[in-house]
Structure 1
């Protein structure tokens, strides 16, 4: 959540046609098997216009809730970096979600929110990794596009997994937490030379600002936030509002 009425997630979480009335958002959930959180109706869904399919550029979406939400100890916003913020290779960040705990292994009850700490991987280095043992991919083909950021380990170890899509890659930044990426795609879970790929939020900071003009982006040099100006963001990695494809975007039947 980036504002009392706005949420950022991945474009591939939605099925065309994008009908807001088909969705509800669960805010503040922690254990999915234990009823909790606040259900909110959706008034609008904005998919970035360059998004085409899973794995393409533009895998970002904005959700506008029907009504503003009251922030609580469990529902709080995260900062959005402006386009000049750089997340250097090796910087340690966190991914949180309720996805599978291993390839094909679902999160067991009570389905408690999980987190994993991962280092940022340079875009060029990540693209090189995806070419290793990948004979179907031409050496001249760039897989990791300009608007993507990677996180993980060369030898696998830890990763986001199926069911985490749309969730946050959050990095500590001068006392606050910035949304560096949105879980987008990958090849399996925690496989060597196949780190998780995320939508790079700085590539779309200005696009977000178009829909939320009053929202203040976080610059590379941070000043003390003013909680009265609508852009205050929280300092805990576990209680950001997470909007995940599988569990929190409820398609109404």
Structure 2
């Protein structure tokens, strides 16, 4: 047990310093601002390493949805090595100590990831349950009939670069950006092949998510609380990249709830 903890600590340090072999993909929300500590307690950072000989590293976002489950993008967990990959829970500044570094038990994808961001959603089962606190708590999910649009008050959050080729400076503080949902018809004018069950976001100043933020949440205000409306999937990385695309969480509630409320052992990886 002591050796496993030591090994995981070494992996954390190597990930944060870029010390593992292979290429690393690190980027995040463009034009955002520092988030306030404990304002997004469901936010997690995925430190992923490929299972092939290249040992490529990449970072993604995710959200705590239950004591042992994290919601993210399917593309974030493709071809990963479960021994070298882990989830950072309770993180605020990536170069400082987080609440906990959690091992991955397995991954459940909704279906095979298709074209045009179709079904870009997955669940991560952690090896151990999370202890909730003021800085670690599950995100609320929408109801199946909820609708959100241009008048909704929404945000995205993530870590990494603050512009194309501009890394987020130490200590890598969680970034937040208030952003608007655009109509599906407007999105299709820019992205004709956009998949169903997706939402699009846009910002008048060209700000948005980028590689490294995918898997993270689009949250919107519903009454007096915030709910996770989308899982960031692609786009939005500057004004030339078009709208940001998110998987619409309300369309996958049965999938999510069937797993996070299922008793017993974790399901076989899909």
Deviation per CA, 1:50-84: give whole Å up to 9, x if none: 4136x430100101111211101111111111321
Q: Distance in 2 between matches of 1:195 and 1:46?
A: 27
- In 2, are the aligned partners of 1:20 and 1:45 still within 8 Å (CA)? no
> Partner residue of 2:232?
183
Pair 200,109 (structure 1): closer, same or farther in 2 beyond 3 Å? same
C-alpha RMSD over aligned residues: 2.0
- In 1, are the aligned partners of 2:208 and 2:238 still within 8 Å (CA)? yes
More strand by share: 2
Unaligned runs of 5+ in 2: 1-63, 264-270
> Partner residue of 2:68?
5
- After TM superposition, the runs of 4+ consecutive aligned structure 1 residues lying more than 3 A away are 18-22
1:147 equivalent in alignment to 2:197: yes
> Partner residue of 1:33?
95
Deviation per CA, 1:165-215: give whole Å up to 9, x if none: 11111111111111011110016x231681211111111111112212369
Aligned runs of 1:47-62 on 2, under 5 Å?
47-52=109-114, 55-62=116-123
Deviation per CA, 1:212-242: give whole Å up to 9, x if none: 2369xxxxxxxxxxxxxxxxxxxxxxxxxxx
CA drift of 1:124 comes to: 1.6
Q: Distance in 2 between matches of 1:193 and 1:90?
A: 23
Q: Distance in 1 between matches of 2:81 and 2:165?
A: 30
1:199 equivalent in alignment to 2:247: yes
Q: Distance in 1 between matches of 2:150 and 2:194?
A: 15
CA drift of 1:89 comes to: 2.4
Q: Distance in 2 between matches of 1:160 and 1:90?
A: 20
